[in-house]
């Protein structure tokens, strides 16, 4: 594994970012609490006609549902709930539908009414709310697990909770289109590693498009007006784009691909009037939206020029009214805009409401935040890898400590908008490096598959370390002040770094970390097989990471795992884990920690008996943040906020089961 520092290259965005960051005044010490439950608006949805904007505001353990009336500018409070998660409009705008911790509820807003439960859902067994039926004014789609038959049923459900069976099968159906208030019309059938977009007419199925593993076909929209099916696919291309299938001729044509040929498509929006595509969005280094319909090109350009932001999300629910969310990397609160195409008016409908009802008495201001940029770097084998860099304000970057923050997944990615943890760490004085190592999604098929199942002491870890070496070679960070922290797969990467680069990092912090990916896959598959949820399939894992039915492959991955190489860890390691984690076996984590401790290495471990893979309760999350900043302050000499409350101190005392926070 090469740690040679690349040669300094000519000035670019990294050099400019360093100079700009060093000139900025140092930020005030922000409180941990300012980063927890910080959003003034937690859910937002524009009505189908664009005349009302539903939004949810948090207050303690409760959430309040409001409706903003676009024409009058007035806000109406509907009700408050403890269990509301997200909101949706019925297709005619008469109902607001809510996903909750217990199931799906609905409230009719044309008359004063409280929400009524339509049906209960149990996510633990695979029940799922698919969303609103776009072809019906008052229906939704849900899938329910049948324990007796060990299969799934897909239902159309009305606003009284009455169910209509549309499909039943061994596997849950996630991607489909139905006739208006009628039977199934299109669905994706899966057999082994092959997906088939299928047209169903009565009892006859017609195969339309076959996608081998990695092609990732997804039905995006069916236009009844033109009898054309739109879907996301690769079409023998490395990147994913939008395609159109003409149901008359069966001809397939490409509609839109990333003009830069670097990123997969993320979403597409279609006209409610014509059924044709309006806009497509890509998660690029930041975010980019393109007009597909030439009639709206000027509208898209006007919005982009007016807001001048790196990260804009376009949400057109009608042809005339659009919701725009401005969420740049240096703004803790997204700014909410409405756009009227007829008048070309762009405004913030909730600006006064948010100013009068902030969730925090001392919110994070834009001037508090650090500069965050995307960049690409060469890995040691020449492959170009993407990542993000967050730079602390007002410090000499060459002498600043660096925290490497690999993401979870690993089939996930870091995005270009606001990121709370990197901003918290930058506020404490640390450079934060977030690599989108190979296996990360959104950059094309080759980017994912070139990981070659090489986790642990292998190619994926090399991408992380090569990025650190590249930055150090550019004069960014002090090589004597390095730490690594990650959650889930990021925790695995932290353990791997301490084992395979034992002298590089001063300390590591691992949250919900699987010491062995092969053990983690077995554990996850076993848990899911109890209810046949089928979220993690063994055949797909065999392509991406390990074939758990082939002992030689299991041994291959285990040999290069942190679990097998625990004795190589020399620098302090701190672990945070939930004892009810259904993804990572807490027994494996404890066993690993005990072996590292017995080998003479400093180790600390905080566990919570009630938490799962991701901590949910506020005190648990604050304890996690405190452990991170206190450990880093001890080893890298950054800033930190004291414990503060007795409640937090009591929690830490109770839940530190190994070692102590320095």
Backbone angles phi, psi at 498, to 5 degrees: -70, -25
Q: How many CB atoms lie within 10 A of CB 637?
A: 10
Per-residue tokens: 237:
């291309």
The residue whose two tokens read 């908008």 is 417
CA distance 587 to 348: 50
Tokens of 302: 């006007």
Q: Is the pTM of this model over 0.85?
A: yes
In order along the chain (662 residues), what is the average pLDDT of each group of 10 residues?
A: 39 90 96 92 95 93 93 94 92 94 90 84 89 93 92 95 93 91 93 90 94 89 95 95 97 97 97 94 98 96 98 92 96 96 96 92 93 97 98 98 98 97 98 99 97 97 98 98 98 99 98 97 75 60 92 97 98 98 95 98 98 95 98 98 94 97 96
Element (H, E) at 138: none
Residue 301: per-residue pLDDT? 98
Question: Measured between alpha carbons, how far is 288 from 303 in angstroms, rounded to an integer?
Answer: 12
Q: Transcribe 524-575 into DSSP letters.
A: HHHHHHTTT--SS-HHHHHHHT--TT-HHHHHHHHHTSTTTTGGG--S-EEE
Per-residue confidence (pLDDT) for residue 35, from 0 to 100: 94
Name the H helices within 367-443. 420-427
d(CA 78, CA 633): 46
Angle between helices 517-529 and 551-559 (to 10 degrees): 130
Q: How far apart are CA 602 and CA 599, in angstroms?
A: 9
User: Which H or E run includes 487?
Assistant: strand 482-487
Residues 6+ apart with CB under 8 A from 650: none
Residue 536 confidence (pLDDT): 55
Does the bond joining 410 to the residue before it have cis omega, within 30 degrees of 0?
yes
CA distance 410 to 461: 11
Q: How far apart are CA 493 and CA 514, in angstroms?
A: 9
Residues sharing a CB contact under 8 Å with residue 342, sequence separation 6 or more, in sequence order: 320
- 533-579 per-position pLDDT tens digit: 444 578 888 889 999 999 999 999 999 999 999 999 999 999 999 99
Closest CA to 402 of 394, 392, 416: 392
Between vectors from CA 467 to CA 463 and to CA 472, what angle results, nearest 5°? 150
Class of domain 13-34+364-516+561-637: alpha beta
For residue range 628-651, list pLDDT tens digits in order: 999 999 999 999 999 989 999 999
Counting DSSP H helices and E strands in the chain, the numbers are: 13, 36
The torsion defined by the Cα of 439, 442, 443 and 447, in degrees rounded to 10, comes to 20
Show me where the domains of the chain are located.
13-34+364-516+561-637
The answer to whether the CB of 278 falls within 8 A of the CB of 295 is: no
User: Which of 188, 190, 191 shows the shortest CA–CA distance to 175?
Assistant: 188
Question: If you search the block for the tokens 């350009």, which residue do you land on?
Answer: 301
Residue whose token pair is 């439960």: 117
CA distance 173 to 152: 8
Q: Judge contact between 482 and 404, C-beta under 8 A.
A: yes
Helices 586-598 and 517-529, axial angle in degrees (round to 10): 160
3-state secondary structure (DSSP) of residue 115: coil
Convert the pLDDT of each residue in 47-85 to its tens digit. 999 999 999 999 888 899 999 999 999 999 999 988 889
| E-only strand ranges, 159-256 | 163-169, 176-178, 184-191, 194-201, 204-211, 218-223, 228-233, 241-246, 252-256
Cβ burial of 161 (10 Å; 0-12, 13-18, 19+) is middle
Phi, psi (rounded to 5 degrees) for 224? -70, -30
**Distance, CA of 177 to CA of 227 (rounded, Å):** 13
């Amino acid at each position: 594994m090469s740690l040679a520092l690349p040669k300094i290259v000519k000035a670019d965005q990294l050099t400019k970012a360093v100079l700009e960051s060093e000139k900025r005044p140092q930020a005030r010490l922000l409180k941990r609490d300012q980063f927890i439950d910080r959003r003034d608006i937690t859910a937002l949805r524009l009505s189908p006609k664009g005349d009302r904007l539903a939004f949810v505001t948090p207050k303690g353990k409760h959430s309040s549902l409001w409706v903003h009336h676009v024409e009058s500018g007035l806000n109406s409070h509907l009700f408050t709930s403890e269990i509301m998660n997200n909101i949706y409009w019925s297709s005619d705008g008469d109902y607001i539908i809510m996903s909750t911790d217990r199931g799906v509820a609905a409230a009719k807003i044309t008359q004063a009414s409280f929400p009524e439960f339509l049906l209960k859902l149990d996510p633990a067994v695979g029940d799922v709310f698919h969303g609103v039926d776009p072809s019906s004014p008052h229906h939704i789609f849900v899938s329910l697990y049948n324990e007796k038959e060990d299969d799934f049923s897909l239902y159309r459900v009305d606003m009284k909770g009455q169910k209509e069976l549309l499909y039943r099968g061994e596997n849950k159906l996630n991607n489909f289109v139905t006739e208006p208030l009628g039977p199934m019309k299109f669905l994706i059938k899966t057999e082994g590693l092959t997906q088939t977009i299928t047209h169903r007419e009565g009892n006859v199925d017609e195969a339309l498009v076959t996608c081998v593993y990695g092609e990732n076909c997804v039905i995006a929209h069916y236009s009844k007006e033109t009898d054309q099916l739109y879907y996301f696919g690769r079409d023998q291309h490395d990147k994913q784009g939008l395609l159109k299938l003409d149901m008359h001729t069966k001809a397939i044509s490409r509609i839109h691909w990333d003009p830069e040929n670097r990123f997969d498509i993320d979403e597409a929006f279609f006209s409610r009037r014509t059924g044709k595509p309006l806009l497509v969005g890509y998660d690029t280094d930041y975010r980019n939206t393109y007009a597909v319909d030439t009639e709206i090109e000027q509208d898209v350009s006007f919005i982009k020029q007016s807001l001048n932001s790196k990260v804009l999300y376009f949400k057109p629910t009608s042809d005339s009214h659009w919701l725009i969310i401005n969420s740049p990397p240096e703004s803790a609160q997204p700014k909410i805009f409405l756009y009227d195409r007829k008048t070309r008016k762009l405004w913030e409908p909730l600006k006064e409401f948010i100013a009068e009802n902030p969730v925090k008495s001392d919110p994070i201001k834009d001037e508090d935040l650090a500069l965050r940029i995307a960049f690409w770097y060469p890995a040691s084998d020449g492959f170009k890898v993407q990542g993000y860099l967050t730079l602390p304000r007002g410090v000499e970057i060459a002498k600043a400590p660096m925290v490497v923050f690999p993401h979870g997944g690993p089939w996930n990615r870091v995005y270009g908008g606001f990121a709370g943890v990197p901003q918290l760490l930058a506020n404490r004085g640390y450079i934060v490096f977030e690599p989108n190592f190979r296996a990360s999604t959104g950059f094309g098929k080759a980017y994912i598959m070139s990981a070659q199942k090489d986790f642990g002491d292998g190619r994926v870890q090399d991408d992380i370390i090569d990025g650190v070496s590249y930055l150090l070679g550019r004069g960014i960070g002090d090589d004597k002040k390095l730490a690594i922290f990650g959650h889930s797969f990021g925790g695995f990467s932290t353990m791997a770094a301490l084992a395979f680069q034992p002298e590089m990092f001063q300390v590591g912090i691992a949250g919900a970390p699987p010491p062995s990916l092969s053990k983690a896959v077995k554990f996850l598959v076993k848990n899911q097989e109890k209810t046949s949820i089928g979220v993690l399939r063994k055949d797909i894992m065999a392509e991406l990471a390990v074939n758990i039915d082939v002992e030689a492959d299991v041994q291959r991955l285990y040999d290069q795992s942190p679990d097998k190489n625990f004795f190589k860890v020399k620098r302090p390691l701190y672990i945070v884990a939930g004892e009810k984690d259904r993804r990572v076996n807490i027994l494996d984590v404890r066993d690993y920690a005990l072996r590292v401790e017995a080998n003479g290495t400093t180790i600390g471990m905080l566990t919570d008996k009630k938490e799962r893979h991701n901590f949910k309760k506020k005190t648990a999350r604050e304890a996690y943040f405190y452990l991170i900043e206190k450990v880093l302050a001890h080893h890298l000499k950054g800033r930190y906020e004291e414990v503060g409350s007795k409640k937090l101190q009591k929690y830490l005392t109770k839940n530190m089961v190994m070692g102590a926070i320095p």
